Chains A and B, each alone.
Chain A
């Protein structure tokens, strides 16, 4: 049931006339449901903002939350529910913040008892229902994007590329490598080589529980791609079982350097860079 133009005006009138009493009661109801997880001042600010938005919308003659006069009100509702979703409040707790205005209004209107009171209250409450539904929808959307963000962060967190030494970066791989993750690792490692100008990369697979043909293929492709770009990869942390699997599967690691531990790999790289310079110096000195 849509709100008539005069009804909107009456709602605005009612809201501004009894502002203090209404907001106080509103805050009281909401505070009870949130059990102190939001500061009273913060809550009061939100409620006042919402109160002002509803009053303004009513004054402009809002008929339906979705119409052009509802823009400001929708923005305020969206902000509140998005924040609540981020702060970890439940959907019910968030919805109560909106529906509480109904109780506060009812208490107020019961005392007036004019001839249009019932009709008005039904219209008001239909608007408030729309507000509640809108809040719920925004809440769910905010949650969904939160989950998507976290999934992406998890993928990034699980594949850190760290600088070990000047010109040496390492990727400690932990957990199961599926095709999607292997691709992320590959791209990030290669991009880090470019960004840091590092000619050496160590891929440490100590934390990888099992290596199958597909995973081995991904690692091999990364090594070949790095070579094409002018960098060398060393694979470290190959456990005995994995070494056996690699041989059993007939995977050729070719001339790719493999070391038992990350420390060995780093020593190997430092020797490569160090020996080159000291050997040349020794030769020139002799």
Chain B
């Protein structure tokens, strides 16, 4: 589940090409530095964002990433929402299994990204698209 309140204006990056995935990484990195996540947490978040942005591009046929600074009163964090209007994920449990892939990758994208962040929330409907929300909190 996602908790906390939004702070500031979210920054949105369209994901239409390879270069956009790089831009998402850079946007997430800048935001993570701004809320003072530790170096390891920054790295984990940017890596997770990179995996999910690539998924949005390859499986979702493109979409967007919305990066927001959030706070739950005690800690600050970074929240990213990846959204696409692609085919959706028919079997979510299977897609979240380590090593499962339909795209010829290592099958670590979704399951790996979930392990790298604190909150992971996924909503998907076949034929309508997928929305994944991840949050990483400062310690």
Residues of A within 8 A of B (CB): 180, 183, 187
- Binary interface profile of B, 32-45, with partner A (CB < 8 Å = 1, else 0)? 00000000100000
CB 8 Å contact bits of B56-75 with A (1 = contact, 0 = none): 00000000000000000000
CA distance in complex: A181, B40 (Å): 14
Closest to B39 in A: A187
> Which 3 A-B residue pairings sit nearest by Cβ, starting from the closest?
A187-B40, A183-B40, A180-B139
Chain A min CB distance to B135 (Å): 19
In the complex, what residue of chain A is closest to B40 when comparing beta carbons?
A187
- What are 3 A-B contacts defined by CB distance under 8 Å? A180-B139, A183-B40, A187-B40
Identify the closest chain B residue to A190 (Cβ): B40
Closest residue of B by beta carbon distance from A191: B39
> Which residue of chain B has the shortest Cβ distance to A183 in the bound complex?
B40
Q: Which residue on A lies nearest to B139, using beta carbons?
A: A180
Distance in Å: Cβ of B61 to nearest Cβ of chain A: 33
- Give the distance to chain B from A273, nearest Cβ to Cβ, in Å: 30
C-alpha gap A230/B40 in the complex (Å): 19
Give bound CA distance, A180 to B40, whole Å.
13
Query: Which residues of chain B (96-119) have a CB below 8 Å from chain A?
Result: none
How many whole Å from A78's CB to the nearest CB in chain B? 25
A176 to B104, CA, bound (A): 43
| Chain B, Cβ-Cβ closest to A180 | B139
Find chain B residues with CB under 8 A from A180 CB: 139
- Once bound together, how far apart are the Cα atoms of A111 and B139, in whole Å? 60
B118 to chain A, nearest CB (A): 13
Neighbouring B residues of A187 by C-beta, 8 Å? 40
Give complex CA distance A6, B12 in Å.
59
* B42 → chain A closest CB, angstroms: 13
**What's the minimum C-beta distance from A188 to chain B, rounded to whole angstroms?**
12
The complex places the Cα of A93 from the Cα of B95 at a distance, in Å, of: 65
Chain B: CB-nearest residue to A186 = B40
Q: Digit string of B13-40 for contact with A (CB within 8 Å is 1, else 0)?
A: 0000000000000000000000000001
With A and B bound together, what is the CA distance between A183 and B139 in angstroms? 12
| Bound complex: CA A9 to CA B40 (Å) | 58
Contacts of B139 in A (CB 8 A): 180
Bound together, the chains give a CA A180 to CA B139 distance in angstroms of 10
B40 contact set on A, CB distance < 8 A? 183, 187
Residues of B within 8 A of A183 (CB): 40
Q: In residues 108-139 of chain B, which contact A (Cβ within 8 Å)?
A: 139
Give chain B nearest CB distance to A183 CB in angstroms: 8
Docked Cα-Cα span, A183 to B38, in Å, equals: 12
Contact with A along B67-97 (1 / 0, CB 8 A): 0000000000000000000000000000000
